Amino acid sequence: MKKELSIVYTLKSSSLLILLILLLYGCVHDPFPAIAPPVVVNPDDGYGGADCNYVGVCFESSVLPIFQSSCAKSGCHDAATDNDYNLTTYENIMKKGIVPFNAGASKLYQVTGIADEDIMPPPPNTALTKAQRDSIAKWINEGAKNTIKCNCSCDTTQFAFTATINPLISTYCVSCHNPSYPGGGILLNTYPGVQAIALNGKLMASITHTGPFPMPKGGKLSDCQITQINKWVVGGALNN
């Protein structure tokens, strides 16, 4: 009798163990693509640095601003709104559908170009431009590296509106300040809109983070970029 009970107990224990294993592994989802090792730019690592030799797409200055201004807006994928799909940092962006060296297989890139209700950014927000999508695709196909401090083309002697200021505003500000998404009632998709906040002091207060509304939300512009905008404002905020 004891032997029979021992056999029954062993069978029940084995069944419970198998059931536990099935439950544990049944809840495991396919992992997101592994995060690519961060590549910190310095003069000796072959990616640029002080000598500006890096010729690829710079994540910090060319890709991150697109995600921060177009996707990580308040109410969308910022830290306060969506902790699961927070697109404010390199680490979080890499966790959510970026496949290094393969833009076509990268979910975050794919959804920016679809033509239905699943497109991101969603209407009525402004869709990414072809140039923005091309930058993201090229960055991914180059390995989706965390390249930083590799934008060495900034020149404080250049501050014309058409060539310098408007591209900065378009990259960092327009996604949150356009007719479809007029953040704070401010429109920066045209020269008159930019000129208005330049002359009333709000632009410099925002980008220097000395006013009540520090911008861009994703992070402060570089000292060189702030100097360029300041020179343009001091010069009369001309449409040159």
Residue 155 lies in a domain: no
Residue 169 lies in a domain: yes
Residues 85 and 114 in one domain: yes
Residue 227 lies in a domain: yes
Residues 10 and 74 in one domain: no
Give the domain extent around 105: 49-141
List the one residue out of 208, 84, 78, 66 whose CA is nearest residue 127: 66
- For 113-143, give one letter per residue: b (16+ CB within 10 A) or e: eeeeeeebbeeebbbbeeebbebbbebbbbe
Cβ atoms of residues 224 and 156 within 8 Å:
yes
Residues 26 and 63 in one domain: no
pLDDT at 10 over 70: no
| CA distances from residue 30 to 37, 169, 207 in whole angstroms, order as listed | 20, 39, 41
Residues 25 and 64 in one domain: no
Domain boundary pick from 106, 141, 176: 141
Residues 56 and 24 in one domain: no
Pairing status of strand 177-178 against strand 181-182: antiparallel
- Return the pLDDT at 58: 87
More confident residue, 77 or 20: 77
Residue 149 lies in a domain: no
Residues 124 and 54 in one domain: yes
More confident residue, 165 or 178: 165
Residue 114 lies in a domain: yes
Residues 173 and 211 in one domain: yes
Residue 151 lies in a domain: no
Q: Which residues pair with residue 181 across a beta bridge?
A: 178
Q: Which two tokens stand for residue 63?
A: 């890709």
Please state the domain count of the chain.
3
pLDDT at 25 over 80: no
User: What confidence tens digit (pLDDT) does each residue in 177-230 have?
Assistant: 888 778 889 999 899 999 999 999 999 999 999 999 888 876 788 888 999 999
**Over the chain, what is the mean pLDDT?**
75
pLDDT at 16 over 50: no
Residues 54 and 126 in one domain: yes
User: What confidence tens digit (pLDDT) does each residue in 90-145 have?
Assistant: 888 888 789 999 999 998 898 888 766 666 766 666 678 888 899 999 999 999 99
- Return the pLDDT at 190: 93
Residue 91 lies in a domain: yes
Residues 58 and 24 in one domain: no
Residue 146 lies in a domain: no
Dihedrals phi, psi of 22, to nearest 5 degrees: -65, -40
Residues 17 and 75 in one domain: no
Q: What distance in Å separates the CA atoms of residue 112 and residue 133, rounded to the nearest whole number?
A: 7
pLDDT band at 38 (very low <50, low <70, confident <90, very high): very low
More confident residue, 101 or 27: 101
Q: What distance in Å separates the CA atoms of residue 121 and residue 129, rounded to the nearest whole number?
A: 11
